[in-house]
Structure 1
């Protein structure tokens, strides 16, 4: 083998080894992030009381401009039809691992016990805004439906696709039962004293105040109680977790 051939093969081998090392480092980094996420979740669960409230603010502190993030006007035909009819035919379906599946209109949701809170929205992009939210308490709805013993998570399926198309993968998110039963976890139908506007998730959005913004699913279509995420989309428990974000986004 001449010197040039030897050098070419040596460089190629070094490149393969470097690539393999980078892949191992990336995999190790991903495992570290997953373990760090689990550590964060466990630490917060250990240190912070389960019903500790996120800070609430005075009405004078509501942000003048609360940014509408992500989807702002879903293109799905079923959503467009409901929106154009003023959501008169909208019904929230609650099913999965429950004893008594529910199908509730907005009027029926508004008739359930409600909560109003003024809280800060923390976006993973780095911005924050303060808004007032009113809605049905998720814990009461889950009790009404009657969770089965094997239920561990609550999954929220949404009308919107972040691609703003008819065919893109629809948004979904999930929380565990601790956050589902937190007193500030509500299904909001009002924002700042008025009916929830379309850019902010009409007719119904999740407010889970001890979590980052991408957990606050908008345009909720149905809710399902599940034992695991294995059979759902990418198996990570949410649209963004399926794409590498942390599933537990506690703050």
Structure 2
């Protein structure tokens, strides 16, 4: 089992490195990644689908990611990606110590709901010490505290036809002449309802810092770091990912990374 997971991670790291080089360098020799009908891209997509289903079958839906002891926390959680959104809305919330913040659950739900940061903090909480694995090749063990996502989704009444959660963020990760591009990610409902999937508001027994995603960061502990979106403000329940971004289910998947990102 461990050998399967290790080989899976090595393959993903290689494909993700290719995807990031495409996104950052713009080399036209890799334009096929942006061409939906290209046979090479289609083959890569089918391999990702096969890996997704195989890993679900081998590992199971509810198997927990490894948890560690306090003594194994050797350093602070390394910030990466965006470390400080610059939109007016986020700046205002930060100036108010996130008191006006609301997390909204919408889409294919019986009722749209929203919760303040204080309300989330007053819900039943879970604390877990897990390892964050970045696609760049580094890892970091940290202690996360937050509200399990599953009961929050239940409060909205997820409709039977919903298949995915789309996670919308304040993170204006890319600025263009036509406006900001905001980070987003998605997961299936198996990962959304996993017992270790948290709406994290605490890190290493402290309030979650801005550089690590305040006020709320999602933790999907059986996935790579880019599947842990920071600065979360809305969760949208959907049956199709194609209407969002470039239709691949996340900012980095839109730029060549694997959508599932499991480890």
Alignment TM-score, normalising by the size of structure 2: 0.84
Aligned with 1:118 (options 97, 105, 129): 129
Q: 2:90 matched to which residue of 1? A: 79
Q: 2:147 matched to which residue of 1? A: 136
**SS of aligned partner of 2:55:** helix
Structure of higher RCO (CA pairs closer than 8 Å, 6+ residues apart): 2
Residue by residue, what CA displacement relative to the aligned partner does 1:50-107 show, whole Å, maximum 9, x if unpaired? Answer: 1100000001111313210100000011000000110011011111110121110011
Q: 2:220 matched to which residue of 1? A: 208
Cα distance in 2 for residues equivalent to 1:59 and 1:157: 32
8 Å contact from structure 1 (residues 116, 135) kept in 2:
yes
Aligned with 1:101 (options 112, 120, 124): 112
Aligned with 2:168 (options 157, 169, 174): 157
Report the count of equivalent residues. Answer: 231
User: Does structure 1 residue 45 correspond to structure 2 residue 51?
Assistant: no
User: Does structure 1 residue 54 correspond to structure 2 residue 68?
Assistant: no
Cα distance in 1 for residues equivalent to 2:82 and 2:159: 33
Q: 1:178 matched to which residue of 2? A: 190
Gaps of 5+ in 2: 1-27
User: Does structure 1 residue 198 correspond to structure 2 residue 214?
Assistant: no
8 Å contact from structure 2 (residues 175, 181) kept in 1:
no
Considering only CA atoms, is the larger Rg found in Structure 1 or Structure 2? 1
Cα distance in 1 for residues equivalent to 2:76 and 2:203: 13
RMSD (Å) for aligned C-alpha atoms? 2.1
Cα distance in 1 for residues equivalent to 2:196 and 2:243: 29
8 Å contact from structure 1 (residues 76, 165) kept in 2:
no
**SS of aligned partner of 2:104:** strand
Cα distance in 2 for residues equivalent to 1:125 and 1:203: 25
Gaps of 5+ in 1: 1-18
Alignment TM-score, normalising by the size of structure 1: 0.88
Q: 2:3 matched to which residue of 1? A: none
